Amino acid sequence: MCACSLALWACGGQPENEVVSGRTNSVFAAVERDGTLAELDGSTGALIRTVDLSELAHDARMKFDVEDVQAAPDGRTVWLTAKPKSGGAAGAAQMPEELVGVDASTGKVSHRIDLGTGLNVAHVVIRGSLAYVTAYGADLVLVVDLVTERVIRSFALPSGTGPEGARLTPDGVTLVVAGMGDGSMHTIHTGTGFVESHALPGRAMQSAVLPDGSAAFATVYDTRQVARLDLFDGTLSLFELPAGAAGPVQLYPASSTSLWIADQGMLDGDAAGNTLYRMSAAGSVDRTIVVSPAPHGVVVNSETGELWTTTLAEGTVEAVDGESGEVLWTTRVGDGPSGITCVNAGGAMP
């Protein structure tokens, strides 16, 4: 595995030869229950637009649940996982799940890629012209060619894995997948498809990879822990969150030495959390920031230390100064914002 400089992992950090969108600072959130994409000004919190992802089908307007969003590396297109909303138009059960592309400059739906049915697609991560989509209901990771707009391959995970979040190593060789179904963490070699599995003591919600490629992490909801997998020697470690943690969901690296964790709670009737934790790569929590209830998604601009989080209970996106702990702005975007990504003049977050 080759190392990658931290600059490539900042919001907008991309290789110099990449073509980018020219945006200065935009944040995109998947508003799951509304079936929309919200775009905000990352500096001021102003809601730029809301994009309806529904489509006409069977003589009715079909709505989607959209769980995750990820901008393409050049920042031109924002991609979302979309599942036909149950109880919608007649024939909804036969409608395919989709990977929907939205033009970042116009806010128009530009692509709809048929992924199939019965998948329960969850998260998407992108490298170059390929997207990797986790399918919770099928124990698969789908590989989608964004140029030809078709699924070209799939990686099978052990039965019951229930893959949820996923992230790539900086070199693109390894995909790290969180198993929410059975409580597990998996590494997939993207060239050969070889899968290596690691059991965890509870449901894994999302994974993260340090910018230097040295280690991967996964949140363990049930035990209020974070798992660390050394990507060189395969050693697995478990780190405790502070007493009173509600249940961690998503996490994101701030640098090669620390990461932020969204303590959401709310599963199985649990109370909502209201905290973002900063954890060192060695496992110690050194900062706690209070935000609105049920923070879910989190993404970091490692050039500025600013981070953004979605909150399920309030339906907001919040910007936070990672050093001072100050909440810079709060904007309501709709019902159930979940995944989040950001784009600026240099491109998009990985």
Q: Which residue has the higher pLDDT, 189 or 86?
A: 189
- The CA distance from 129 to 120, in Å, is 23
Residues 281-302: b if buried by 16+ CB within 10 A, e if exposed = beeebeeebebbbbbbbbbbbb
User: pLDDT at position 2, please?
Assistant: 37
Q: List CB contacts of 231: < 8 A, sequence separation 6 or more.
A: 1, 169, 174, 187, 209, 213, 214, 215, 216
Q: What is the mean pLDDT of residues 114-134?
A: 97
Percentage of the chain exceeding pLDDT 90: 83
Give the residue carrying structure tokens 């079909």: 62
- The CA distance from 335 to 275, in Å, is 20
Question: Cα dihedral angle (309, 209, 81, 327), rounded to 10 degrees?
Answer: 10
Residues 104-131: b if buried by 16+ CB within 10 A, e if exposed = beeeebeeebebeeebbbbbbbbbeebb
Give phi and psi for 264, each to the nearest 5.
-80, -50
- The CA distance from 47 to 134, in Å, is 29
Q: Is residue 14 scored above 60 in pLDDT?
A: no
Comparing 10-19, 98-107, 117-126, 319-328, which segment has the lowest mean pLDDT? 10-19
Contact predicate 140/116, CB 8 Å: no
- Measured from the Cβ of residue 323, the count of other Cβ atoms closer than 10 Å reads 11
Alpha carbon of residue 278 to chain centroid: 18
- The CA distance from 267 to 274, in Å, is 14
Q: What is the mean pLDDT of residues 260-265?
A: 98
DSSP string for 251-307: EEESSSSEEEEEEEE-GGGPPEEEEEEEEETTS-EEEEEE-SSSEEEEEEETTTTEE
pLDDT in tens, 281-317: 999 999 999 999 999 999 998 677 799 999 999 999 9
pLDDT in tens, 224-242: 999 999 999 999 999 999 9
Contact predicate 81/122, CB 8 Å: yes
User: pLDDT at position 94, please?
Assistant: 75
Record the pTM. 0.93
Q: What is the mean pLDDT of residues 16-37?
A: 76
Give the residue carrying structure tokens 């500025």: 304
Comparing 74-78, 100-104, 173-177, 303-307, which segment has the lowest mean pLDDT? 303-307
Phi-psi label, residue 58: left if phi above 0, alpha if psi -120 to 50, beta otherwise: left
Q: Which domains does the chain have, with CATH numbers?
A: 6-13+22-348 (2.130.10.10)
Q: State both tokens at 197.
A: 């599995």
- The CA distance from 121 to 87, in Å, is 18
Q: Which residue has the higher pLDDT, 61 or 28?
A: 28
Segment 179-184 long-range contacts (CB within 8 Å, at least 24 positions apart): 179/203, 179/204, 180/136, 180/204, 180/205, 181/136, 181/139, 182/158, 183/220, 183/222, 184/158
User: pLDDT at position 304, please?
Assistant: 77
Q: Is residue 127 scored above 90 in pLDDT?
A: yes
79: which DSSP letter? Answer: E
Q: In a 3-state reduction of DSSP, which class is residue 343?
A: strand
